[in-house]
Chain A
Amino acid sequence: MLRRRLGRTLLYIFLISTSLMMAYPLLFAFAAGLTGTEDYYQSTWFPAPTEIHLDKWAAFLGRDDLRLWVANTIFRAGWYVVIPAVISVLCGYVFTVPRFKGRDAVFMLMLASMMVPGIVYVLPTFIMLARWPLVGGNDIYGQGGHGFINTWGALLIPGLINAFYIFLMRQSYQSIPRDYEEAARVDGANTLQIIWNVYVPLLRPALTVLVIFQFVAVWNDYLNPLVFAGGNEAIAPVALGAQRFIFSTSQNTRAGLIDYPTMFAVATLVTLPIVILFLLLQRYFVQGVAGFGLKG
């Protein structure tokens, strides 16, 4: 019994210390954002503010276009949650339930795209979007205008299929007994009705994973908005806006003088929403993640 209690104590010491180490960089960023510039430079291993400075937070939160950046990001995140969710729920069904020739081959083909290094897509996608016929001033041959570049199209069209989620949905479908579907068929439901009424409720954990992963990806996405729509400030997301905010508050960008407390305040504020989202959805998320390890 004593041995067991000692074991538990050691376990907690281990867990608490390692968890604090993981959290330390973020706590550092959080505290640094509340610290006055002078205090910050005096601090050593932790920027403990002698007095809480909320002005850095206020400067970023008070920015007029912050609301626009947030709205843009949420809109785009919503799109990249809903469409991939629909696609992967449909594909997951198709690759699991009906039997037809070529099913597994098509599935493998789609799965292979998971191994493609992301950088491969940047240039071809840009050129396709820029030369898309009959949009953005382009003629039927795709010449003459800018296509989707610097428009919402460029930020909403590419990357809607993600093999990872199709794989995830397929795993989840496989764990659901077919009896439910059979019963619904007997009641006269068609395939789309069955997917929506029978499967989707049971896919909730996997869908939560999709929501969190996609939301985080879009929220943090800096490269795509910069390359595909960097010239249109009206559709800039938070990631781009935050970077530009830090840039413009640095007194002289060429000299690289960064105001660290401002930078960390922005970093904290930009990270907070996704942490909150994670906390809200945590329970389903963990259930959904469990689906990864089912035998495929």
Chain B
Amino acid sequence: MDTYPLTRRERIAQYLARNRRAVEAWLILTPILIYYFVFAVFPVLANLSVSFLDWNGFNEPAWAGLANYERFFTNPRYQQVLLMTVFFAVAILIVNTVLGFFIALALNEQVKGLGIYRTLWYVPTLTSAAVMAQIATVFIAPRVGVTSVVLASLGLESPIWQTNIDFARLIIVVFSVWRSVGTAMLLFLAGLQSIPLDVIDAARVDGAAGWRMLRHITLPLLRPMTVFVLVTGLIAAFQVFEPVYLITNGKSGTNVMMLKIYDDAFQNGRFGMAAAMATVMLVVLLWASFLNLRLMGQTSAEQQ
């Protein structure tokens, strides 16, 4: 091969020819990444920088260092809000996952009218938060509300959410679950239906049935779907806001971080504090998702 020196243009052409796929990829990615940096990354950085400020939105911002974070982790009111957020997140996540899984399991038993059941379970997730809140408010009204009527027919006294913290929290969990369990159900059902029939048959020949089938065949094969349900469910459950804001407005010990962020930013004019809380939440979500992925990855590695 001749070794005459390549001109600049030739070298570029050669590089492009060799790395054609990579160049194409970057051509596609570049505009998308620019947009992504402006509208997705920049706001997060702006939020991070505001979290170090003492700023009411209108004054000259003053540097606050870690004061906002310190306040969040030492102030009992904020601690209670954090605790409540974790409680709701865990409760909603567990109920959604377990209930969704068992409904999916039941639906996977070749039932007649599968589409109808599936639709009935999924449709609540299509409703808007406003519609959910309207229904919830009417349902939980003492004496005339559905909850009361049902409890009264069972001979029980009707609870008043304003005075009954447990009931107030239960309402938040119930209506959050109502509006999100359909997704978990649908995901598990899809996962179950994509398990190849020959695997099931082979296991059946080996004598697996009932609980053993579930434990040794179904659950391991469903693991990727379970991870997905847990990770996305966790992200959503941690951000529970609408039921709290629209039904109890954070009263009776139901205040959560999203509502506190909203209050601090828009009602109290404490942008630094709101930004710090949002950052904490981001870190918690990243950490929890990462942990979840890793734990599930580990157990699946052990299995193999």
Contact = CB atoms under 8 A, between A and B. Distances in A.
Nearest to B116: A19
B126 interface: yes
A119 B261 contact: yes
B261 A191 contact: no
B135 A25 contact: yes
Interface stretch (A10-18, A142-150, A196-204): A10-18
A294 B109 CA distance: 22
Interface stretch (A56-64, A98-106, A133-141): A98-106
A1 interface: no
A275 interface: yes
Contacts, number: 202
Contact of B29 (A12, A94, A219, A243): A94
Given A15-B107, A15-B117, A161-B35, 9 more contacts: A44-B149, A100-B25, A115-B286, A116-B282, A119-B265, A124-B46, A128-B38, A292-B187, A293-B191
B225 A267 contact: no
A222 B282 contact: no
Interface-central residue, A112, A287, A295, by most chain B CB under 10 Å: A112
B146 A293 contact: no
B181 to A, nearest CB: 8
A160 B190 contact: no
Most buried by B among A25, A124, A191, A278: A25
A157 B41 CA distance: 15
B150 interface: yes
Interface in B21-79: 21-22, 24-26, 28-29, 32-33, 35-36, 38-44, 46-47
Contacts of B127: 26, 220, 267, 271
B25 A121 contact: no
Nearest to A159: B39
Nearest to A205: B190
Given A103-B25, A119-B261, A124 B47 contact: yes
Given A19-B120, A220-B128, A282-B119, A113 B193 contact: no
A267 B134 contact: yes
A125 B39 contact: yes
Determine the main DSSP class of B at the interface with A: helix
User: Interface range on chain B: under 10, 10 to 19, 20 to 34, or 35 or more?
Assistant: 35 or more
Contacts of A114: 235
Given A12-B111, A239-B128, A282-B115, A293 B222 contact: yes
30 contacts: A12-B111, A15-B107, A19-B120, A25-B178, A26-B135, A28-B135, A45-B149, A90-B28, A98-B22, A100-B22, A106-B29, A110-B36, A115-B289, A117-B282, A119-B258, A120-B44, A120-B47, A128-B39, A220-B128, A220-B129, A270-B128, A271-B126, A271-B127, A274-B126, A279-B119, A286-B190, A292-B228, A293-B191, A293-B225, A294-B224
Contacts of B199: none
Contacts of B262: 119
Contacts of B139: 25, 28
Contact of B265 (A25, A123, A219, A271): A123
A287 B127 CA distance: 22
Nearest to A242: B130
- For the residues of A in contact with B, the DSSP-based class is helix
B124 interface: yes
B103 interface: yes
A158 interface: yes
Given A22-B124, A125-B39, A260 B228 contact: no
Nearest to B36: A161
B301 interface: no
A112 B286 contact: yes
B106 interface: yes
Given A23-B120, A98-B21, A292-B228, A117 B130 contact: no
B217 interface: no
A91 interface: yes
Contacts of A68: none
Interface in B243-288: 258, 261-262, 265, 271, 275, 278, 281-282, 285-286
Contact of B43 (A14, A125, A216, A260): A125
Contact of A160 (B39, B46, B109, B289): B39
A292 to B, nearest CB: 5
Of B25, B46, B278, the most chain A CB neighbours within 10 A belong to B25
A29 interface: yes
Contact of A275 (B123, B130, B228): B123
A100 B26 contact: yes
A130 to B, nearest CB: 14
Contacts of B186: 286, 289
A22 B33 contact: no
The 9 closest A-B pairs by CB, nearest first: A293-B225, A100-B22, A124-B43, A290-B190, A220-B128, A98-B21, A115-B285, A19-B120, A293-B191
Interface string A252-282: 0000000010011001001100110011001
Contacts of B194: 290, 293
A119 B123 contact: no
Given A22-B124, A22-B178, A117-B278, A290 B130 contact: no
Nearest to A121: B43
A116 B22 CA distance: 29
